[in-house]
Amino acid sequence: DGGITQSPKYLFRKEGQNVTLSCEQNLNHDAMYWYRQDPGQGLRLIYYSQIVNDFQKGDIAEGYSVSREKKESFPLTVTSAQKNPTAFYLCASNLGGLGSGEQYFGPGTRLTVT
């Protein structure tokens, strides 16, 4: 079955530690995205990548970093510089390019930092 996987589903970390969230897709999609969702709010874009070895900052990139070394993988690192890292993190992908329409989302990772 094709789709997007995120792991783990729940993640707990101590303040001051960096943590990396995994996102893998086997849909052969060029474009991948990371969003953050806080309780009762919509999604906000952190980073996106339209092609391997290239990525751009979204609306709230501060305190986060990404890499795109392989087409199917787009890991997100939440660094200790992120002031409020506790949130629900969602990865998505689509074909990319003009008229690419539907975006496919993973199940999300809920990160709690104490």
Q: Which positions lie near other proteins, rule CB under 8 A?
A: 4, 31, 33, 35, 40-45, 48, 50, 56, 58, 88, 90, 92, 94, 96-108, 110
Taking the least distance from each CB to other proteins, the nearer of 16 and 40 is 40
- How far apart, in whole angstroms, are the C-alpha atoms of residue 42 and residue 98? 24
Between residues 22 and 80, which has the closer beta carbon with respect to other proteins?
22
Q: CB nearer to other proteins: give 78 or 91.
A: 91
Alpha carbon distances (Å) from 95 to 46, 86, 102, 113: 19, 30, 8, 33
Nearer to other proteins, 1 or 102 (CB): 102
Query: CB of 44: closest distance to other proteins in angstroms?
Result: 8
Residue 65 to residues 21, 40, 45, 57: CA-CA distances in angstroms? 11, 25, 13, 9
Question: Residue 52 contacts by C-beta under 8 Å, 6 or more apart in sequence?
Answer: 68, 69, 70, 71
